[in-house]
Amino acid sequence: MIIFNRKNKTHKNKTLNRQHLADSKTQLVSQEQQEIPYVLIRSRRKSLSLTVVDDEVRVRSPYHVSKQDIDTWVQSRSLWINQQKASIKAKAEEVPSIKHDGHCYLFGVKIHIVFSDQEPQVSIQGDQVMISAIAKEPTVLFSQWLQKKAITHLSARVDHWAEIIGVATKVSQVVFKITKTKWGHCTSSGVIQLNWYLVMAPKTVIDYVVIHELCHLLVMNHSADFWAEVQQYSPHFQEHKQWLRREGHKLWL
């Protein structure tokens, strides 16, 4: 199983538990050049903590710390706050955006999206994909097109690697799903589940995920024996694991 690193999912708004915000309101720290608005959440905690979620700065504080001390503390961390905000913004801009002049990824390559009135409804030319704007739902149309490409490629890679690894007879079913928490999964009954958004990843990364799941048909855990099997077929698997952790946020529509 390959778990998706949810910390990278910057494009989905997370709703803060309103109960914790019941007695909080937006605070403001003034600096010579910058004002830092933040949401203050007081609770029975022991120390101050700071997080930046989407574009919002959240400070969690024990009840006894004064507002002035919190302001000073937030001020002292303004550089870190700015770095966090810049990093979140940069990641959000990388996430696929299915609109005219937007972008997506196909096998790790950035693809420019153009809405057009031409047939066929979705076509690709070099690093540009044309989506018919005549369609009622261009985004749905594109998603269906991408899914088809994903299933064709992933199915072929499962067949290819299952033969090489020697587990072809053990694969009972291949299922394609969008799962929010994992890229792939394998059951003891031979069901291989793959997140079809993987089609946006480089082909070497896709192969790593396929190899990983198929190797579970040899070793059902993540022991040293398991990784030794994976390494035989995907010698640079550590790089691909890191790529998924670092860049996985790009693979979501």
Min dist CB 74 to Zn ion, Å, is: 41
Contact 208, 229 (CB under 8 A): no
d(CA 52, CA 74): 12
By beta-carbon proximity to Zn ion, the closer residue of 1 and 253 is 1
Contacts with Zn ion, 98-137, as mask; x by CB under 5 A: ----------------------------------------
Structure tokens at 251: 């693979």
Min dist CB 216 to Zn ion, Å, is: 6
Residues 223-242 that bind Zn ion (CB under 5 A): none
For Zn ion, the nearest residue by Cβ is 1
Min dist CB 9 to Zn ion, Å, is: 20
Structure tokens at 81: 């706050």
Could you write out the DSSP letters of every residue in 96-148? -B-STT-EEEETTEEEEEEEESPSSSEEEETTEEEEETTSS-HHHHHHHHHHH
Q: Is 127 exposed, middle or buried (0-12, 13-18, 19+ CB in 10 A)?
A: exposed
d(CA 110, CA 103): 7
Min dist CB 90 to Zn ion, Å, is: 30
Structure tokens at 163: 């033969």
Contacts with Zn ion, 1-40, as mask; x by CB under 5 A: x---------------------------------------
Please tell me whether residue 191 adopts helix, strand or coil conformation: strand
By beta-carbon proximity to Zn ion, the closer residue of 1 and 151 is 1
Please tell me whether residue 41 adopts helix, strand or coil conformation: strand
Contacts with Zn ion, 170-209, as mask; x by CB under 5 A: ----------------------------------------
By beta-carbon proximity to Zn ion, the closer residue of 1 and 65 is 1
Min dist CB 193 to Zn ion, Å, is: 11
By beta-carbon proximity to Zn ion, the closer residue of 1 and 88 is 1
By beta-carbon proximity to Zn ion, the closer residue of 126 and 235 is 235
Structure tokens at 167: 């587990």
By beta-carbon proximity to Zn ion, the closer residue of 111 and 198 is 198
By beta-carbon proximity to Zn ion, the closer residue of 81 and 201 is 201
Query: Can residue 219 be called a binding residue for Zn ion (CB under 5 A)?
Result: no
Question: What is the phi/psi pair of residue 58, to 5°?
Answer: -120, 130
Q: How many residues does the chain have?
A: 253
Interface residues toward Zn ion, by CB under 5 A: 1
